[in-house]
């Protein structure tokens, strides 16, 4: 059983492709999605692998604490290595904020009552209590901060080519300010985005949010060029999906005492916390700048 837990927010600075393999659909290389919500997700194994790689690059020499944290790497250490479970556990990186193009304000940070409710549940698992609650139902209206510049003078919001009625609720301000303070990275370069989420956070109806995260992701055409003819190889055109930049995901990181109680759960969590505020590369297409994210740990926790 884990003894320490923290929420790790993951803010995408470039588009992110956590791939699910090839597909027979229109998009050849889709992204990973939750089965029951269709929300984009980065599976826990990928999150753990990225974090492990960061530490292995930092500690180029054999580091016992890193090995105890993530478990033995049999590909490098041989089949006769001692087998034990790593002391760190990572959940899937779940989607919380999804940027959508807006007629006013360029884009809005969108989420849903379900996504906020799940965040609150996961925060409690990490020992964090918040004083905000999910917004009340409002039918097919979009809910946001009263006076948001995303809404026009007629209380309408236009996202992509869709128009919604807008309703300002007092409780949304508390959610937006909490996210700005805790979920958006702390660096001075993020001042604009922290201020934007305070005014441009929108809670969409459940079906509308699901449709946007399913149908409004980036889909890019890619090709392979023949080195000799300098033309497109036959059959080399393919389409790849990605989660766009300025999306926000989060994962819960849990630790327990390492095998044989070599290191305590607190020490393991302190080690993992070294990536707080750092930039990591998630998913595929690293050589063309995809998957650059900023990692931010929520202070406090179990």
Q: What is the per-residue DSSP string for 169-207?
A: -HHHHHHHHHHHHHTS--SGGGHHHHHHHHHHEEEE-HH
Query: For position 261, what pLDDT does the model report?
Result: 78
Query: For position 77, what pLDDT does the model report?
Result: 52
Question: Which helix or strand (DSSP H or E) is residue 12 part of?
Answer: strand 4-12
Adjacent-strand bridge partners of 94: 41, 250
Task: Calculate ∠ Cα 275-276-281, nearest 5°.
Answer: 55
In the DSSP assignment, the letter for residue 274 is G
Residues in Cβ contact with 296 at an 8 Å cutoff, skipping those fewer than 6 apart = 8, 9, 10, 11, 183, 184, 185, 186, 276, 277
Strand pairing class (93-101; 238-242): unpaired
In the DSSP assignment, the letter for residue 259 is G
Q: Which residue has the tokens 């760190």?
A: 88
Query: For position 75, what pLDDT does the model report?
Result: 62
Residues in Cβ contact with 105 at an 8 Å cutoff, skipping those fewer than 6 apart = 149, 150, 196, 200
Q: Which two three-digit tokens encode residue 256?
A: 């327990």
Mean pLDDT in consecutive groups of 10 residues from the start of the chain, 302 residues: 94 95 80 96 96 93 89 63 86 98 97 97 95 87 93 95 95 96 96 97 97 96 78 79 97 92 92 96 94 92 54
Contact 119, 133 (CB under 8 A): no
The SS3 assignment for 238 reads strand
**pLDDT averaged over every residue in the chain:** 91
Query: For position 137, what pLDDT does the model report?
Result: 82
Q: Which two three-digit tokens encode residue 213?
A: 């995260």
Q: What is the pLDDT of residues 170-217, one digit of tens each?
A: 899 999 999 999 999 999 999 999 999 999 999 999 999 999 999 999
Q: How far apart are CA 276 and CA 273, in angstroms?
A: 5
Q: Which residue has the tokens 């393991």?
A: 268
Q: Which residue has the tokens 């807008």?
A: 166
């Amino acid at each position: 059983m884990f003894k320490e837990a923290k929420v790790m927010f993951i803010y995408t600075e470039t588009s992110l492709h956590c791939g699910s393999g090839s597909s027979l659909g229109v998009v050849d290389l889709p992204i990973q999605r939750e089965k029951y919500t269709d929300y984009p997700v980065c599976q826990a194994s990928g999150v753990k692998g990225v974090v492990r790689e960061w530490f292995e690059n930092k500690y180029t020499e054999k580091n016992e604490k890193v090995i105890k944290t993530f478990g033995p790497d049999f590909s490098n250490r041989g089949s006769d290595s001692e087998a034990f479970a790593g002391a760190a556990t990572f959940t899937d990186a779940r989607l919380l904020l999804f940027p959508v193009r807006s007629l006013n304000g360029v884009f809005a940070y969108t989420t849903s009552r379900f996504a906020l409710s799940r965040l609150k549940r996961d925060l409690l698992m990490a020992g964090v209590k918040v004083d905000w609650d999910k917004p009340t139902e409002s039918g097919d209206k979009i809910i946001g901060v009263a006076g948001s510049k995303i809404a026009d003078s007629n209380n309408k919001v236009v996202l992509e080519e869709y128009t919604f009625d807008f309703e300002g609720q007092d409780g949304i301000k508390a959610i937006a300010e909490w996210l700005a303070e805790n979920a958006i990275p702390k660096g001075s370069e993020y001042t604009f985005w922290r201020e934007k989420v305070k005014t441009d956070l929108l809670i969409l109806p459940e079906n509308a949010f699901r449709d946007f995260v399913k149908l409004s992701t980036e889909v890019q055409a890619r090709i392979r060029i023949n080195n000799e003819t300098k033309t497109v190889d036959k059959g080399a055109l393919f389409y790849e999906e990605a989660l766009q930049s300025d999306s926000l995901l989060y994962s819960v990181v849990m630790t327990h005492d390492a095998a044989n109680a070599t290191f305590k759960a607190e020490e393991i969590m302190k080690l993992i916390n070294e990536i707080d505020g750092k930039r990591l590369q998630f998913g595929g297409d690293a050589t063309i700048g995809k998957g650059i994210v900023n990692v931010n740990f929520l202070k406090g926790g179990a």
